[in-house]
Homo-oligomer: A and B are copies of this chain.
Amino acid sequence: MENLEEKSRLREVRKNVGEGGSNDFKPLVVIEFDVTAQQPAIEWLLAKLQASQKNNGAELLVRPVVMQHNQETIFFISATMERLLLATEMMEIKKVYKDGYHREFTLQDVANFKNSEDLDNFLTVAEKQKIILHELEALRAGEEDGNIPGYEAIKLYPGKSLVKKYLSRQIIKNLIPLHDQEQLKRLRVEWYYSFKSTQPIDKIRDYFGEKIAMYFAFLGFYTIALIPPAVIGILYFITSWESVYREAIFAVFNLVWTTIFLEYWKRYCSELAYRWGTLDHVSSQLEEPRANFYGVMGENLVTRKPEPVYPKYKQVLRFYGVTVPIIALCLVVCFYIMLGYFILQDWADQCYAKEKGWLNFINLLMPTVIYAVVIGIVNTIYRKVAKQLNDWENHRLQSSYENHLTVKLILFNFVNCFISLFYVAFYMQNMTVLRSHLSTLLVTQQLVGQFRESLVPFFFHRRRAIKVDEAIKKVANVQKIEFFNGEVDEAVQKQASIESTMDVYEGTMDDYLEMFLQFGYVFLFSSVFPLAALWALINNVMEIPSDAFKMCRVFQRPFSEPAANIGVWQVAFEIIGAIAVMTNCALIGMNPDVQKLLPSNISAVNIVIIFVIIEHIILSIKAAVAFFIPDVPKWVEIEMARMAYQSRLALQKEQIERAEKERILRRQIYPNRV
């Protein structure tokens, strides 16, 4: 090792902080530097992380370790209890107050918060990790910092987040919260080892944060909501009840059912959000801008705190001037690819009809294969483009950023997955093809999904874990682990090594997207393929444990993120619900059996009009159902009002007290005036 002397310098810096022995050091977050990372850059960041807050440091506990098997430097990061609590106050994190409500934590009032007897465990591990992440990201370049030491080319501007810069320049390879093996084990047992009908949502929230817990709550709720349509689908399948009303009744049930499901989900969702203290709407002006948001340094319009400012009109221009046309173009391309597929297929069919040789039989399958490959390529390209456009739109808030990205993905995937079905259903008007096409799409997508999402990553994960194990063993045999490493448990070191090789969880977006497409397959054409709900139900019953497994064992632990609802997904599902009314009414209206049922003297025009009227009536019923089911349960509303009432009383009291103080002051200054 050529840089031994530099490492002793590192040790010097670390000694200055003078924290306790390694026994009570429990790392929460791990920073893994790239193997090519320059030593001065590592040391500089280390010093910043350890420096006190008044010296513009992060004042965290850091243990640097050089891993022997791959020569990578890893920082194991933790913080003192006081540091964490101070940050909790600054970040306005809500904790349960003695009166049972979630209130913003204040250090001086700590004794009045629940569970504050044991301050070490007052915050959950996930909360501690979230706080450390916040403090890491809040470490910003000062006026005097021109560039990252060791990297002349990487300029720093005042106010720029250092860790973000390290990450974007890949000096830092990974920034991950460590799993808590003990907690994780307990969670896994409750979540997917025991065969329980409900998931431990609150514990998932404690471990992974509100956003991921919300996804699993939705997945569970949606799966249960699939039971009635699935049961009816089975009944339809096994009974021989032949009636033209068959499909119509099923479709109408499904259409109203989707509304009821989505409305009751909203209620359940706000119940969860209330329980987790995320319900009350924080104005988007108060939310902190996302780390990648750039602009001229200005001040927040509400809090007057400094933050980057970017003109709104530029954002709007970029969105409407560039993003919208490009997205529209992609959708059109998607449509033409679909058209090409049908033309090819038509040609192949004709060839096969002319001469039934094996060459022409293979030819028959070619269009589907080509279509699948092309669509796969286009999808990959589109995702990259969408991501870049979204970055470039420079959204101020994380929520707005995610919503815009989600809408982009939804639009494309909707067109991509459903346009061929629409084409078959309404242009070709071939119900047999539609049914087979739909069932093929649904079942294959589910199988491929299960395979790609869980089994493949798990296999790779296993292989990598074994590799890490072997590498560590080999190193241990050749040379003893260096002095640094005694301060962090070897088990933890190994855990960090393994977790850093795990896949990164990219957020709930793809998981929701999968459910969204499934929802579309099940309900858009339910009158044609009543068994779809059953397939979806079976898939989801397997999806819950496999997604849970994925979260616990395949992916790096994600940082906890707050959530009060499922965001744009709610709207997306509702729109599918509305489109489903149109498609199902059209499908039933096109059914010749149904048309025969009507008096024969009704003209074709009137049949269409009748179905349009039915469609409008169903849409109105859906709107009425949505209107009459309150979005928030009564008890939650009352509790929220109680909290607001107490806040108002407190505000009044504060006003009065201030006025009183001012009066006393005035009397002291002007004792003669009364």
Query: Which residues on A are within 8 Å of B, measured CB to CB?
Result: 103-104, 106, 108-109, 111-112, 283, 285-286, 301-303, 582, 603-605, 607-609, 612, 616, 637-638, 640-642, 644-645, 647-648, 650-660
Cβ contacts under 8 Å, A302 to chain B = 638, 641-642, 645
Shortest A7–chain B CB gap in Å is: 44
Cβ contacts under 8 Å, A603 to chain B = 604
Given the interface pairs A608-B605, A612-B612, the reply to whether A654 lies near B645 with Cβ below 8 Å is: no
Given the interface pairs A302-B645, A647-B647, the reply to whether A616 lies near B582 with Cβ below 8 Å is: yes
> A103-B655, A108-B660, A612-B612 known; 6 other A-B pairs, CB under 8 Å?
A106-B652, A108-B659, A302-B642, A302-B645, A604-B604, A653-B654
B650 touches A654 (CB 8 A): yes
Cβ contacts under 8 Å, A645 to chain B = 283, 286, 302-303
| Partner of A656 from B109, B283, B644 at Cβ < 8 Å | B109
Cβ contacts under 8 Å, A303 to chain B = 645
A-B contact pairs, 29 of them (CB 8 A): A103-B655, A104-B648, A104-B652, A106-B652, A108-B656, A109-B655, A112-B659, A283-B637, A283-B641, A283-B644, A285-B637, A285-B638, A285-B642, A301-B641, A302-B645, A303-B645, A582-B616, A603-B604, A604-B605, A605-B605, A605-B607, A608-B608, A612-B612, A647-B648, A647-B651, A651-B651, A651-B654, A653-B654, A654-B654
Cβ contacts under 8 Å, A283 to chain B = 637, 640-641, 644-645
Complex CA distance for A644 and B659, rounded to whole angstroms: 20
| Partner of A659 from B109, B609, B660 at Cβ < 8 Å | B109
Cβ contacts under 8 Å, A109 to chain B = 655-656, 658-659
Complex CA distance for A607 and B609, rounded to whole angstroms: 11
Cβ contacts under 8 Å, A582 to chain B = 616
Cβ contacts under 8 Å, A608 to chain B = 605, 608-609, 612
Shortest A473–chain B CB gap in Å is: 53
Complex CA distance for A483 and B20, rounded to whole angstroms: 93
Cβ contacts under 8 Å, A106 to chain B = 652, 655-656, 659
B659 touches A111 (CB 8 A): yes
Complex CA distance for A511 and B651, rounded to whole angstroms: 39
Residue on B with the closest CB to A312?
Answer: B634
Cβ contacts under 8 Å, A642 to chain B = 285, 301-302
Cβ contacts under 8 Å, A641 to chain B = 283, 285-286, 301-302
Complex CA distance for A642 and B647, rounded to whole angstroms: 16
Shortest A301–chain B CB gap in Å is: 5
Complex CA distance for A283 and B640, rounded to whole angstroms: 9
Shortest A626–chain B CB gap in Å is: 13
Complex CA distance for A651 and B644, rounded to whole angstroms: 11
Residue on B with the closest CB to A608?
Answer: B608
A301 touches B104 (CB 8 A): no
Shortest A93–chain B CB gap in Å is: 13
Complex CA distance for A644 and B285, rounded to whole angstroms: 11
Residue on B with the closest CB to A108?
Answer: B656
Shortest A290–chain B CB gap in Å is: 18
Interface centre among A104, A638, A644 (most CB of B within 10 A): A644
Cβ contacts under 8 Å, A607 to chain B = 605
Cβ contacts under 8 Å, A604 to chain B = 603-605
Complex CA distance for A37 and B69, rounded to whole angstroms: 102
Shortest A109–chain B CB gap in Å is: 4
Complex CA distance for A667 and B646, rounded to whole angstroms: 27
Complex CA distance for A657 and B657, rounded to whole angstroms: 11
Complex CA distance for A637 and B281, rounded to whole angstroms: 13
Residue on B with the closest CB to A97?
Answer: B655
Cβ contacts under 8 Å, A648 to chain B = 104, 647
Residue on B with the closest CB to A285?
Answer: B641
